[in-house]
Structure 1
């Protein structure tokens, strides 16, 4: 039983799949310290609800319906308009690049859809208490992208005391290579353009891929469609 002295965390859900929202609601219902106060299919509905009633945490999908606002833009809106509300992302796109960009946009936690409902509940409590939640396996990859990430500040739930500002640490030459590649240039053409060897261009391209948390050309194009050009 929840006593009158206990903390009650309020949560709103955002996902364009009703079955996902219902599953989270059913799973959280037995938690005495967490109350779902809203469930929405669109970002517009969520923003309207938050204007009427604040929520401690918003559990939201990163990729919404094509006609809806994109995840990064919504995170930025929430950060500007509802500072006391802490967004928690639940997404199938759990890559270092996605996590880094989400944290930079104002997200307080990211849970992969491969995790269990029990882990989501832990993440909700962690974020509601003002700490960032990350999976332990994500921390080494984020360290490669941003050296200032202080692992000593991270506890067993992979939460830290304040929002992080992370970004892919691409060198100017790596940025040049990716931009040229996105313009349709081949490795040999890029090498000729910058008077470098083809092997150097290939090495710089693969180094940039590692920092972005991607491993193929198709993932690079998908990355730019969602987030714009990296760098």
Structure 2
């Protein structure tokens, strides 16, 4: 596909890893119609800059530092405060459950950090003109997941009525649904990775699910997580 541009795309980058954000910035700067207007390590820095330096498109990490806002709520906040900015997520949390949550919250595209930089460039071009970008593989995974979720919705019983989840198991599941890893959850609550892993697996057994994707499929059946 040949891309033509009528104006420069102003891009702001947010990632808590310096190597990633500066590597992205260098590659984006090679495109004549891209202008990187800011490179940030925290969401606070990004939002402070956006008040005075407009950006057309934001490339954000989904899982920032332990003291920063989580990716899902960051997308929601950005959509409210800066509604004209299009959001593209680039994250190592590249699985159907996390991608679906991000897109539902308002992201217009999602690129895994294991993908080639050419995929990021293509995603920027697609999202900047108001379209949605997902790889063919991920789009297929989401279609399959949503189909399975629709079938599960036909069940009238609420899983949480039978699961008897403990308060700590519930908070671990909430974090899982926000796309956080076991290590990140452990840091957030100052518990050991072993403890968090045990609570997660216990909750999975009670709910009858085997992995994060299956958890996401039944999210609508879990009362007040």
Same topology, TM > 0.5: yes
Q: Bigger relative contact order, structure 1 or 2, given CA contacts below 8 A and separation 6+?
A: 2
Query: What secondary structure does 1:31 align onto?
Result: coil
Q: Residue 185 of structure 2 aligns with which residue?
A: none
**Which 5+ residue runs of structure 2 have no aligned equivalent?**
170-203
Trace 1:199-210 onto structure 2 (pairs within 5 A). Answer: 205-206=208-209, 210=213
Q: How far 1:96 moved relative to its partner? A: 1.0
Q: How far 1:119 moved relative to its partner? A: 0.7
Q: Check the 8 A contact 1:13/1:58 in 2, yes or no.
A: yes
Q: Residue 179 of structure 2 aligns with which residue?
A: none
User: Partners in 2 of 1:168 and 1:51 — Cα distance?
Assistant: 44
Trace 1:77-96 onto structure 2 (pairs within 5 A). Answer: 77-96=77-96
Q: Residue 32 of structure 1 aligns with which residue?
A: 32
User: Partners in 1 of 2:108 and 2:55 — Cα distance?
Assistant: 14
Query: What secondary structure does 1:39 align onto?
Result: strand
Trace 1:1-231 onto structure 2 (pairs within 5 A). Answer: 6-147=6-147, 171=155, 173=157, 175-176=159-160, 179-180=163-164, 205-206=208-209, 210-212=213-215
User: Partners in 1 of 2:132 and 2:81 — Cα distance?
Assistant: 20
TM-score (norm 1): 0.67
Query: What secondary structure does 2:134 align onto?
Result: coil
Q: Residue 178 of structure 2 aligns with which residue?
A: none
Kindly name which structure, 1 or 2, has the bigger radius of gyration based on alpha carbons. Answer: 1
The alignment's C-alpha RMSD in Å is 3.5
TM-score (norm 2): 0.69
Query: What secondary structure does 1:124 align onto?
Result: helix
Q: Check the 8 A contact 1:111/1:120 in 2, yes or no.
A: yes
User: Partners in 2 of 1:230 and 1:167 — Cα distance?
Assistant: 20
User: Partners in 1 of 2:88 and 2:57 — Cα distance?
Assistant: 7
User: Partners in 2 of 1:104 and 1:205 — Cα distance?
Assistant: 25
Q: Check the 8 A contact 2:96/2:213 in 1, yes or no.
A: no
Q: Check the 8 A contact 1:169/1:211 in 2, yes or no.
A: no
Query: What secondary structure does 1:28 align onto?
Result: helix
